[in-house]
Amino acid sequence: MTVVRLTLREAANRKVLIVGAVVSVAFLLLFWLGFSIAFNSITSPSDPTDPAVGATIMTVLGLYAVQFLAAFMAVLLASGAVAPEIDSGRLHAILARPLSRTSWLAQRAGTFAMLVAGYIVVMSGAILSIGAAIAGYGAIAPWRGVALLALEVVVLVALGTALSVRLSAIAAGVIVIALYGAAWIGGIMDIVGTALDNPTLQRISTGVSLVIPSDALWRGASYYLQSPAFLIAAQVEADTGNPFAGNAPPSGLFVAWAVAYGTAWWLLADRWFRRRDL
């Protein structure tokens, strides 16, 4: 696991881990403060479900911010996984040793995937714990939601790594960020298409979610991370939605597609890397 140690050391030397930890702690403190003030302001709710609704909105928005930060961390790390190592000449010295290209790529990209997935688990757990401590918040199935969020960032790492084999770090990062934004637009189109009963918009949204499943994975995860009381109180139906959360669990077929999607990009990255002239 030499490459794993070197990759972690590189991240530490570049202050990625330290800066990420400091920013994350600051975010959690801000979230705790905002959650406390907002929830405690509901002293005499007009409806008994108001506390559950307020707690769910705050928690889901906090989790949305966490997945947004994790997604950009995944893009930042993966887009520079290969190309800078080749351009700097460091990779020539490493691969001169008895180490296959497949092993090097798997260890390096796998370390990045482990970092962002671990970040998702820790930060999501912290957000949910703050919600539980302040408001007694309880999600439908929190570990299912966190697992889907981890799958989302791992898919982005796989995509970014594959593009980093063929393109420069900047080009790979721009493409992945553009696709991530397109996925979000696709989710909005699905909400609008459902509200207007427009099957064309819905089909376009489905096609976008197949090309880049990041937003659809977030929406599926957010369903499991909401409070049952909130869903009942809001009377969420199939024809309603919002740009920050989903109102239905993901299908098993879509989750399988997301896993196959990420696996395909990992395999393609390995194939391209083994054939690339260094």
What one-letter code names the amino acid at 11? A
Task: Look at residue 49 in the predicted model and tell me its pLDDT.
Answer: 65
Residues 6 or more apart whose Cβ sits within 8 Å of residue 14: none
How many structural domains does the chain have?
Answer: 1
What one-letter code names the amino acid at 143? W
Residues 6 or more apart whose Cβ sits within 8 Å of residue 48: none
Task: Look at residue 82 in the predicted model and tell me its pLDDT.
Answer: 86
CA 97, 101, 105, 107 torsion-angle sign = negative
What DSSP designation does 278 have?
Answer: -
Task: Look at residue 274 in the predicted model and tell me its pLDDT.
Answer: 87
Task: Look at residue 231 in the predicted model and tell me its pLDDT.
Answer: 74
pTM for the model stands at: 0.89
Task: Look at residue 266 in the predicted model and tell me its pLDDT.
Answer: 94
What DSSP designation does 242 have?
Answer: B
Q: Work out the number of other CB atoms within 10 angstroms of the CB of residue 240.
A: 12
Task: Look at residue 264 in the predicted model and tell me its pLDDT.
Answer: 96
Distance CA 38, CA 237 (A): 27
Provide the domain limits for residue 26: 2-275
Task: Look at residue 233 in the predicted model and tell me its pLDDT.
Answer: 63
Which segments of the chain have a pLDDT < 50? 236-241
Task: Look at residue 234 in the predicted model and tell me its pLDDT.
Answer: 59
Contact 175, 163 (CB under 8 A): yes
